[in-house]
Amino acid sequence: MPHRMEEMMAKGVKYRRVYDDPSSGDGMRILVDRVWPRGVREEEAELRDPARREAVDWLRESAGKRPMTLLTAARDLEHSQASVLAHWLNEWARSRG
C-alpha cells in the first residue's frame, strides 16, 4: 500500500506509524491513538502529550508554528485517524494564512 509521506513532508503536520524509528524531521511526536500501542515503551516513542481537553486547540495552534508528526499504530496508515487529523490540521493551517 503506497503512502504519501513525500506529500506530507511538504506540510506542517506529518503522520506515520509509531513503530517507525523517530527521525530528526519528525518535529514534535504526538500519539493520536486512544490505546497505547503494543510493544512500544514510552521512552522510545519520544512523545509530547497535552491534556486531552486542550488537545485539539493545542494541535491547531501548534500546526502552523512548528513541525509535528502524528503517530498511530494502525497498519492502514492512509485510512487512520492520524491521517485524517493531519489532513484536517494542514487544511486549517492553510486557510488561516
Decide which of 83 and 12 is more confident: 83
pLDDT at 20 over 60: yes
Q: State pLDDT tens for residues 21-80.
A: 999 889 989 888 877 778 888 777 777 665 666 777 888 888 878 889 999 999 999 899
Residue 93 to residue 64: CA distance in whole angstroms: 5
Q: What percent of the chain has pLDDT over 70?
A: 80
* Per-domain boundaries in the chain: 5-95
The whole-number pLDDT of residue 80 equals 92
Q: What percent of the chain has pLDDT over 90?
A: 26
User: Smallest Cα–Cα separation from 13: which of 62, 76, 81, 78?
Assistant: 62
pLDDT at 3 over 70: no
